[in-house]
Chains A and B, each alone.
Chain A
């Protein structure tokens, strides 16, 4: 058995890497820190034109009908660029969640109104699951998919009251969402809602893990560049073992996390029974690895790494934010432990 991404999956990823490499330099990420909460996401039209935004949407709504195996490579590149746009929330979670709901009058109406618009990049959809206190990108979303009391609701942004909440990552927009559930917004109840929310959590965790791998890779690249030109004691500091070992350890941790992410994507794409465990493994490993890469990067950069003017913090703070979102490493390890020790236990709440 050959367990590797196909040439086509690699080509999709390379194409996004090319676009983001040219169109999303750190200056774009920095600009997002100062943007209004409801400003249109950076590069959204270009990404939509390229088919990235709608890649997970079924073809009947203008998407490409692609799955998680195509998506993780793209998300890793989004992480590598610290893309300040809701690819994770809209493309990786909201669109598949909405597309997979069973048909019904409310669901059909919501899908007809929003799925095509989301796939075309005209509407952002944000997701707020019950265990998460904040909703990312709520202010610039047109539609919010919200879980409460075992039900899923599709709430137009205008029908919700938002209170902005600062994130450690200034390019990330969080908000408390206050809203009133109604029959008109209810899109799923009972087992359907519970399963959809659980799958959305797994999708979000794997997507965040993929972005974290990209962020970690970028921070190591930045640091390798730095330690080759920063001289101390008459030599480049990268020649010292204390520096090299830091970076080698961080790199090794990332390389161990990436197969976990690929495996979890495979499990999601094939709807395997152990998907939740694979998702937790991926998120726990990638979160730890990205945080470790950030620590090594900060240490090796020395004082300049702490400065706001240096690019490192743009990537490090995104890594901190995503490591905590969609369940942090401790929560995911606990979920793995529960699955290992008690096959019948239901997953508990998580904290974002």
Chain B
């Protein structure tokens, strides 16, 4: 079973964002794998292994990223976790938009023919939440988004995806090949089932830490450097960033003495009622 995991590098979301000259200042930013994409890598690995025995049960995890040469570092971290090989398509972050990404991934899927495409539900920099859905649409593949759990059928012909919705958990079974985007809880201890890892086995909460051995092995794993032209794509973004600014400073809050005054202010000043 081959699983393709597209991943994106993003500025470390734990660091404070700086704005300079109408744009987010990324000079000196530290970059990390988009957390949801990291969850997708973890999910792919759990689907292909016996977690209890710590053994891989065949299959292949291919990670792909579209970004500048520095993005290879984030790809290596996915390889260190256990992915088998990687593809980096060279492009500047700002030169591509979601449609360009989809066009590249479409070409890669046609070439790689994965059984399952697993990806983060969105990247935490732009929070667009578009690529997974558009890619499935363009490829004509079944999709299940925001997966909080996933179970690979014993015959490996379908996956049962649990999605957390307001009323509870919605389950969708999609045949493979298909596309699944994952949400935070997919990396909870028992969210991934594959009929190989015993049902009683509980993973640690969250994506795995790369072992030192994995980090060293990652250096020797294949990483193919490609260009947009290799996939017949030209960077012609239809969405352009015109400017970034902080929201206006909020006026300070007010303390009121009693409920009637609060209601009066909500009606007369805030016009919220």
A55: chain B residues at CB < 8 Å are 212
A8 cross-chain contacts in B, Cβ below 8 A: 215-216, 219
Task: Judge if A26 is at the interface, Cβ distance under 8 Å.
Answer: no
User: A-B contact count, CB below 8 Å?
Assistant: 33
Q: Are B80 and A11 in contact (CB under 8 A)?
A: yes
What 10 pairs between A and B have smallest CB-CB spacing?
Answer: A51-B212, A51-B211, A51-B213, A11-B215, A50-B211, A19-B209, A12-B212, A15-B210, A55-B212, A50-B209
> How far is B212's CA from A70's CA once the two chains are assembled, in angstroms?
10
Q: Which residues of B contact A (CB under 8 A)?
A: 73, 76-77, 80, 209-213, 215-216, 219
Query: Which residue of chain B has its CB nearest to the CB of A74?
Result: B212
A18: B residues at CB distance < 8 A: 209
Contact indicator per residue, chain A 16-29, by CB within 8 Å of chain B (1) or not (0) = 00110000000000
Query: Are B209 and A52 closer than 8 Å at their CB atoms?
Result: no
Bound state CA distance, A12 and B209, in angstroms? 11
Give the size of the chain A interface in residues (CB under 8 angstroms): 16
Which residues of B have CB within 8 Å of A235? none
Any B CB within 8 A of the CB of A230? no
Q: With a CB–CB cut-off of 8 A, which chain B residues contact A164?
A: none
Taking CB atoms and an 8 Å cut-off, the chain A residues in 313-330 that contact chain B are none
Query: CB-CB < 8 A to B77: which residues of A?
Result: 11
* Closest Cβ–Cβ distance, residue B240 to chain A (whole Å): 34
Are B212 and A66 interface neighbours, CB within 8 A? yes
**Residue on A with the closest CB to B76?**
A11
Tell me if B's interface is mostly helix, strand, loop or mixed. helix
Residues of B within 8 A of A70 (CB): 212
Task: Using CB atoms, name the residue of chain B closest to A11.
Answer: B215
A-B contact pairs, 15 of them (CB 8 A): A11-B76, A11-B80, A11-B215, A12-B216, A15-B80, A15-B210, A18-B209, A49-B211, A50-B211, A51-B211, A51-B213, A64-B212, A64-B213, A66-B212, A70-B212
Residues on the A chain within 8 Å of B209, using CB: 15, 18-19, 46, 50
Of all chain B residues, which has the CB nearest A18?
B209
Tell me whether A64 and B210 are in contact (CB under 8 A): no
**Chain A, range 56-80, C-beta contacts under 8 Å to B:** 64, 66, 70
**Residue from B77, B80, B210, B219 whose CB has the most chain A CB atoms within 10 Å:** B210
0/1 per residue, A317-346, Cβ < 8 Å to B?
000000000000000000000000000000
Question: How far is it, in angstroms, between the C-alpha of A15 and the C-alpha of B217 when the chains are bound?
Answer: 14
Of B212, B215, B219, the most chain A CB neighbours within 10 A belong to B212
**Separation in Å of the A22 CB from the closest CB of chain B?**
8
**Mask of A153-169 contacts with B, CB within 8 angstroms, 1/0:** 00000000000000000
Task: Please give me the residue from chain A that is nearest to B209 by CB atom.
Answer: A19
In the bound assembly, the distance between CA atoms of A161 and B162 in angstroms comes to: 58
Tell me which residues across on chain B come within 8 A of A49, comparing CB atoms: 211
User: How far is A15 from B218 in the complex, measured between Cα atoms in Å?
Assistant: 13
* Minimal Cβ-Cβ distance residue in B for A19: B209
Q: Looking across the interface, which residue of chain B has its beta carbon closest to that of A55?
A: B212
**Interface hits, A1-60 → B, CB 8 Å:** 7-8, 11-12, 15, 18-19, 46, 49-52, 55
User: Measured between C-beta atoms, what is the minimum distance from A63 to chain B in Å?
Assistant: 10
List 11 additional A-B contacts (Cβ < 8 Å) besides A8-B215, A11-B215, A15-B80. Answer: A7-B73, A8-B216, A8-B219, A11-B76, A11-B77, A12-B216, A15-B209, A15-B215, A51-B211, A52-B212, A64-B212
> CB-CB < 8 A to B216: which residues of A?
8, 12, 64
A15 to B73, CA, bound (A): 13
Give bound CA distance, A18 to B216, whole Å: 17
In the complex the two chains form, what is the Cα distance from A52 to B213 in whole Å? 9
Cβ contacts under 8 Å, B212 to chain A: 12, 15, 50-52, 55, 64, 66, 70
